[in-house]
Structure 1
Amino acid sequence: MSNPISHDDLCYLPATAALVLFSEGALSPVELLNAYQARAEKLEPQLNAFSAQRLEAAQEAARLSEQRYSKRYSKSANPLRALEGLPVALKNEHTLCGWVTTKGSWLLGNQADTVNAPITQRLLDAGAVIHAQTNVPEFYMACFTRSERHGVSRNPWNLALTPGGSSGGSAAALAAGLTAMASGSDIGGSIRIPASYCGVVGLKPSYGRVPVTPIAYALHTMNHIGPMARTVADCALMFNVVNGPHADDPAAIRPKLEVPLAFESVKGLRIALSYDLDSFEVHADVLRGLEQAAQALREQGAMVEPVKLGWTDNGADAVFQRLGFETGREFACRILRQNLPTSDYIRQFAIDGMNVTGEQYLATNQVVGRMYDSMSKVMASYDALICPTMASIGSPAEGGVDANEMLRRDAMTYPFNLLSRHPVLSVPSGLASNGVPMGVQVVGRTLDETTVFQIGAAIEQALWQRRRPAI
């Protein structure tokens, strides 16, 4: 099937637009997949966004989707599915039968997956063509993407800098035009950090919106699985597919939520604005981007005004004490038991986690309670809050040994993992002076993804239209 659009232009086609072209017969899923695979072959040596690719299986899935669009087949007998034919990359966390999900670590060996993660199965059921696995830091415990097993991932906007982490490979792949959509996960900002640094869109859904397995992970309230894409509409499209109750996740929220893909005006909305979440030192470029987003919303009819959250504690210690107590010991046991290479920051995290006391761990509940109480008082008067995603404008691609300190200093994301029922969308707010994108977080009332997407779309419309890195 011939198409006048160049391969590189095809790779930046919004997923919603690709679906229209598929249905009109102007583009085929095979043609789109070929464009992505050709671009990956060219750019992957520089970026290292993928830890694995499944070229033959993806080609077969694309051909089957192409048949569904073909007029030779009955649409009633072969109904088109929500993501029919769209290339989607999976974070190296979300299992796929027959694949090896390493979590970025040699400690897990090479055992093939025997079950599909809930998000994987829902993507497959919706017709997605899963073609790649995206790179992660070891066990997801860094806001950069580097591991002993899979190496360093780089930011397409500036190869010296990190794409963020832990869903760094997903964000880099999207920004570089290597996939239409990607999955992510977020336990301290791991969707939103790379979304901000790479100029893409990422949603930390409300806790329980997107099912998680096994049950031990499902009950971890800081843990969120979510969609990543290049546009707000694409992100919402993927969210509609992957959210909803699941038999294996007792925390999954019912009923399923369907957000509109045509977004209402923000006129009349009341939006709170926080420059620093009461405690972060924020780069001047980031503040400029935030103010541009606020002004764009005002020009579209929203009322935006600065607030103080009243937080005497932004939850940094609580985050590290919770994660360290619950997972640091596990990592320490694995490292001692297996004489295999491990990343420096994982060894440091294990040491720090072993030093967290039970009393400190239990005290985190009081911190979270106070933060929720202050946030609830503010949100009683507003439909949403906007604030920066990152306080900084980038860090070296290789990261550092003390990943906790980098997260504590730069990521304005982790407070909302403690306040896990609030959905948060990161959308681009412009380019910093070093050429790397910046992001704004849109924080919704609890369980209100619809308003978050509505406000995010308004910011995107004003500040970020079809930008791409010169790579």
Structure 2
Amino acid sequence: MTSTAPPDDDLCLRPATELAALVRAKEVSARELLEAHLARIERIDPQVNAIVTLDPEGARAAADAADAALAAGEEVGPLHGLPVAHKDTHATGGMRTTWGSPLHADTVPARDELVVERLRRAGAVRVGKTNVPEFAAGSHTFNPLFGATHNPWRHGLSAGGSSGGAAAALAAGLVPVAEGSDMGGSLRNPAAFCGVVGLRPSPGRVPTWPAGLGWATLSVQGPMGRTVGDVALTLSAIAGPDPRVPIALSEDGAGFAAPRPADLRGLRVAWAPDLGGLVPVEPAVPEVLAGLLPQLEAQGAVVEEACPDLREADEVFGTLRAWLFEATFGDVVRRSPEQVKEAIRRNAARGAALSGADVARAELAHTRLHEQVVGFFDRYDVLLAPTTQVLPFPVEQEYPTEVAGVPQEDYLGWMRSCTLISATGCPALSLPGGYTADGLPVGLQVVAAPRADLRLLEMAAAVEQVTGPARRPPL
């Protein structure tokens, strides 16, 4: 095969949508694409520590099989031949999955979980696993097995989390597509810190299986990419119903593949720089993002400062998260407390202390919160807000203890710009919204009405056209 591929580094930094088209047209082979990414991983990942398990030979065999399928004229999936790395909390059959915990340092699952299986069926080539905080608890990626993931924009700064390895790998050009999960911002926060796109879909849009708590809606799985189009393409492969998942939504995923940018003329935009006064934000963050607003207005959008009433969101998120932590980690904490980090022990203990009445009150508030956001999105098409309240901080710091002069009670406090939105059940996406004077990315959080995932992608694509293509980190 005669390749028309650009130099390897440029190939590794192209959008996934372009790479998928090149492979499908046989202008670049899956093997060539893989070798370019493996070479870049070898050269750059030691500085970043994004990929913690790597299987070059397994990936080469899968890439060769992908090329053979194309040569035979077989029908192929939307991600055919694209290298992918899976979050290290997502089970990969035959490949180590550690959850960032010494308790699972040598765990090799027997089978893929659903999100991994769907990416494989879509033709993606499994390269390895991306780094996470221990059991995905927290929005800073470090653990006792692999250490900290560094931000590709500046070594020594956090890449966010818990899908921090995935975001850093994308920004660094180590893989063109990735996936992760999001309870309190774990797809959006690292996307903001690393200058990529992370989508928290509506609960049930990407079914999670197997799952012990099949009816829970606080944690979701979703795609990450370097552009909105890349995220949409990946969502098309992992979304769709599954009868084993009780909250799974019925729409087929294929309809998300290529969203058309929304028309900004007349679009009703709500701008909430501090989510209605509920969250402190370091001044540099809204200062960067506010520069977008005149550009949106120049394209015909109607921008007003407004926010739904999120005052009950803290109780909803805090109570339901603690309940989930007790159900998921309570036995582990009681059995091996010395091998589980303090933040997990504390959350599980809070969950164990909850009464049935506590959980019932949180669910009543959850319902009221849903009604609030439904009414809000009758008046506005989209909500824009900062993704994070701070800029990337040093990797040695477990979490910011102060935001804009306001002390934070625990490791969740600085994440409330995301956790409050998680409690609403709305789909939300972070995309690069600008850069500080010294070059760090700042994430813009784009939120749409419940289950309006396609509309969210269309509006995010329109905003992305205004902000321009994301910059490349100086690697």
TM category, shorter = over 0.9
Q: Distance in 1 between matches of 2:58 and 2:8?
A: 21
Amino acid at match of 2:70: Y
Summarize the alignment of residues 345-424 of structure 1 with structure 2, pairs less than 5 Å apart.
345-400=343-398, 405-420=410-425, 422-424=426-428
- Single out whichever of 355-364 and 401-410 deviates more from structure 2: 401-410
Distance in 2, Cα, partners of 1:157 & 1:317: 35
Contact 2:330 2:348 in 1 (8 A): yes
Question: Structure 1's 124 and 330: CA in aligned 2 closer, same or farther, altered over 3 A?
Answer: closer
Secondary structure in structure 1 of the residue aligned to 2:157: coil
Q: Counterpart of 1:431?
A: 435
Q: Which residue of 2 aligns with 1:155?
A: 151
Aligned residues: 464
Instruction: Report the secondary structure of 1:160's partner residue.
Output: strand
For residues 145 and 451 of structure 1, the distance between their equivalents in structure 2, rounded to whole angstroms, comes to 31
CA offset at residue 390 of structure 1?
Answer: 0.7
Distance 1:382 1:344, change over 3 A: same
The equivalent of 1:31 in structure 2 is 32
- The amino acid of 2:8's aligned partner reads H
Say if 1:170 and 1:184, in contact at 8 Å, map to a contact too.
yes
Q: Distance in 1 between matches of 2:5 and 2:374?
A: 52
1:338 aligned onto 2:342: no
| Match runs of 1:135-214 below 5 Å | 135-214=131-210
Q: Distance in 2 between matches of 1:316 and 1:376?
A: 18
Quote how far apart the aligned CAs of 1:435 are: 2.9
Partner of 2:324: 326
Deviation at 1:329, TM superposition (A): 6.3
* SS class of match (1:398): coil
The whole-number CA distance in structure 2 between the counterparts of 1:262 and 1:415 is 28
Tell me how far 1:183 sits from its aligned partner: 0.7
Q: How far apart, CA to CA, are the structure 1 residues paired with 2:188 and 2:430? A: 5
Residue 452, structure 1, aligned to residue 456, structure 2: yes
1:392 counterpart SS class: coil
- 1:129 paired residue number: 125
- C-alpha offsets along residues 181-230 of structure 1, whole Å, 9 cap, x if unaligned? 00110111110010111111011111111111224333211011100000
Cα distance, 1:432 vs. partner? 2.4
Letter in 1 for 2:87: K
Name the residue aligned to 2:404.
Answer: none
1:284 partnered with 2:288: no
Task: Give the deviation of 1:267 after TM superposition.
Answer: 2.5
**Contact 1:91/1:135 (<8 A) preserved:** yes
Partner of 2:13 in structure 1? Answer: 12
Matched residue, 2:314: 316
Identity %: 34
Letter paired with 1:31: E
Deviation of residue 466 (structure 1)?
4.3
Partner residue, 1:44: 45
Cα distance in structure 2, aligned partners of 1:353 and 1:143: 20
Alignment gaps of 5+ in structure 1: none
Q: Which amino acid aligns with 2:436?
A: A
**Residue 405 (structure 2) aligns with:** none
CA positional deviation for 1:155: 0.7
Deviation of the 1:351 alpha carbon? 4.2
- Structure 1 residue 339: Cα displacement: 7.0
Is 2:432–2:470's contact at 8 Å kept on the other side of the alignment?
A: no
Report the aligned-residue RMSD.
2.2
Give how far 1:299 is off: 2.3
Paired amino acid for 1:284: P
- TM-score, reference length from structure 1: 0.92
Q: Deviation digits for residues 277-302 of structure 1, max 9, x if unmatched?
A: 12111222221233233333222222
Contact 1:175 1:468 in 2 (8 A): yes
Tell me, yes or no, if the aligned pair for 1:322 and 1:364 is still in contact at 8 Å: yes
In structure 1, the partner of 2:222 is 226
Supply the AA of the counterpart residue of 1:67: A
**Offset at 1:5?**
1.7
Q: Quick one: structure 1 residues 434 and 366, their matched pair in 2 at CA, closer, same or farther if it must change by over 3 Å? A: farther
Distance 1:30 1:138, change over 3 A: same
SS in 2 for 1:212: coil
Q: What is the CA-CA distance between 1:321 and the residue it aligns to?
A: 2.4
Letter in structure 1 aligned against 2:412: L
Q: Report the CA distance between 1:136 and its aligned residue.
A: 0.6
- For residue 96 of structure 1, the aligned residue among 89, 92, 98 is 92
1:241-284 Cα offsets, whole Å, 9 max, x none, are 11010122121111314123443433232222211112111222
User: Which deviates the most, 457-466 or 241-250?
Assistant: 457-466
1:119 partner amino acid: V
Q: Is the 8 A contact 2:88 2:99 kept in 1?
A: yes
Once the 2 structures are TM-superposed, how far is the Cα of residue 334 of structure 1 from its aligned partner? 1.5
User: Given the alignment, which residue of 455, 461, 473 partners 1:469?
Assistant: 473
Q: Secondary structure at the match of 1:387?
A: strand
Shift of 1:330: 4.9
Structure 1 equivalent of residue 295 of structure 2: 296
Contact 1:429 1:438 in 2 (8 A): yes
CA, structure 1 residues 415+297, in 2 after alignment: closer, same or farther (shift >3 Å)?
same
Distance in 1, matches of 2:357 and 2:70, equals: 59
Contact kept, 8 Å, 1:270 with 1:304, in 2: the verdict is yes
Q: How much does 1:102 deviate?
A: 1.5
- Report the alpha carbon displacement of residue 147 of structure 1 after superposing the two structures with TM: 0.9
1-structure distance, mates of 2:113, 2:328: 22
SS at match of 1:277: coil
CA distance in 2 between counterparts of 1:441 and 1:248 reads 31
Distance 1:154 1:109, change over 3 A: closer
The alpha-carbon deviation at position 11 of structure 1 amounts to: 1.0
TM-score normalised by L of structure 2: 0.92
Supply the AA of the counterpart residue of 1:424: A
Match of 2:393, SS? coil
> Are 2:268 and 1:270 aligned?
yes
Q: Is the 8 Å Cα contact of residues 145 and 398 (structure 1) preserved in structure 2?
A: no
How far is the alpha carbon of 1:357 from its aligned partner?
4.5
Distance 1:224 1:105 in 2: 21
In 2, the alpha carbon distance for the partners of 1:128 and 1:83 equals 5
Once residues 157 and 355 of structure 2 are traced to their aligned partners in structure 1, the CA distance between those partners, rounded to angstroms, is 36
